[in-house]
Homo-oligomer: A and B are copies of this chain.
Amino acid sequence: MSKNFKFKNFVESHNFVNQVGNIAEQENHHPDISFGWGYCKVKIFTHAIKGLAESDFILAAKIDKI
């Protein structure tokens, strides 16, 4: 699954990415992140099962709370 986030500038995107990265390390589950000026896209997937696992939804929920 993936979700797009919008921001006012690069610094805000970057700050969001840092928070996502910190959560990923806490959860030991790592999304694929694309970002630049004013945007961030977070993709979450469990490669081992080629699908979505509980850990994906936990990670997504924590990112949504940022």
Chain A, 19-42, CB within 8 A of any chain B CB: 21, 24-25, 30-37
* Inter-subunit contact A21/B31 (CB<8 Å): no
Chain B residues contacting A2 (CB-CB under 8 Å) are none
Chain B residues contacting A25 (CB-CB under 8 Å) are 10-11, 14
Q: So how many copies of this chain end up in the complex? A: 2
Measuring CB to CB, which residues of chain A are less than 8 angstroms from any residue of chain B?
10-11, 14, 17-18, 21, 24-25, 30-37
* Inter-subunit contact A30/B36 (CB<8 Å): yes
* Inter-subunit contact B24/A31 (CB<8 Å): no
- Interface pairs (21), CB distance under 8 Å: A10-B21, A10-B24, A10-B25, A10-B30, A11-B25, A14-B18, A14-B21, A14-B25, A17-B17, A17-B21, A18-B18, A30-B36, A30-B37, A31-B36, A32-B34, A32-B35, A32-B36, A33-B34, A33-B35, A33-B36, A34-B34
